[in-house]
Amino acid sequence: MPRLLQHRLDPASRVARLMFAEYGVPIEIEDIKPWTREPHLLEINPAATVPILVDEGEPPIVGVLAVIHAIEERYSPSAVAGLFPAQSRDRAEMWRLLDWVLLKLNDEVTRYVFEEKIVKRDKRGATPDPGVLRVAKANLIEHMLYFNWLFATRHWIAGDSMTLADFALAAHLSSLDYLGDVSWETSAETRQWYARIKSRPAFRTLLNDRVAGMPAATGYADLDF
């Protein structure tokens, strides 16, 4: 059984978990706190980041891009369409938006919220910096405007079919939603899309996640939110 080293609110880890769940592959999860830089983690990944995929008889796969490639190559069922579009034009759009989410959205929003609300609290018991969170929230508003426009013009984020880019965005928004940082009332189009993807069986594993001492925001696990 593949083993995934992850943090339960880390969006990159959540992308991998959604892929495994969508493909019906059971996995063993090892929940870690990468910021503690434990020796066993540094031996595998000196950068101390997750996710890390460990398969028996194979070297560890480190980093979100390498992990999603490994999952697609090793576990994508041949009987159904995978999360990578068959047409090159559609794949290009998927990669464009995957890049937007994994890099731009993460760098401008998610990593700041995660650092302030999760890492600071765990490392030092410190309170979040309101100034940092204000900037992250302002950036998120701009991203949501773009996502709203996309979902007003197409069924899924990259086109007519669900792709890995949808899972990436859902992973980030689910983490932010857990922490109460998504204003759904001003994001009708994205909210409608999120309600659809949130209802998929693959999403159940994420909706059951809880962080000790930090309850999920109201509506996090509700399909009708």
pLDDT tens per residue across all 225 residues of the chain: 999 999 999 999 999 999 999 999 999 999 999 999 999 999 999 999 999 999 999 999 999 999 999 999 999 887 556 799 989 999 999 999 999 999 999 999 999 999 999 999 898 778 899 999 999 999 999 999 999 999 999 999 999 999 999 999 999 999 999 999 999 999 999 999 999 999 999 999 899 999 988 999 999 999 888
**Structure confidence at residue 125 (pLDDT):** 79
- Give 3-state DSSP helix, strand, coil % of the chain, rounded to 5: 60, 10, 35
**Number of other CB atoms surrounding residue 80 within 10 Å:** 9
Look at the pTM and tell me if it is higher than 0.75: yes
Residues 44, 42: Cα–Cα separation, whole Å: 5
- Cis, peptide link before residue 60, omega less than 30° from 0: no
Q: What pLDDT, on the 0 to 100 scale, is given for residue 79?
A: 56
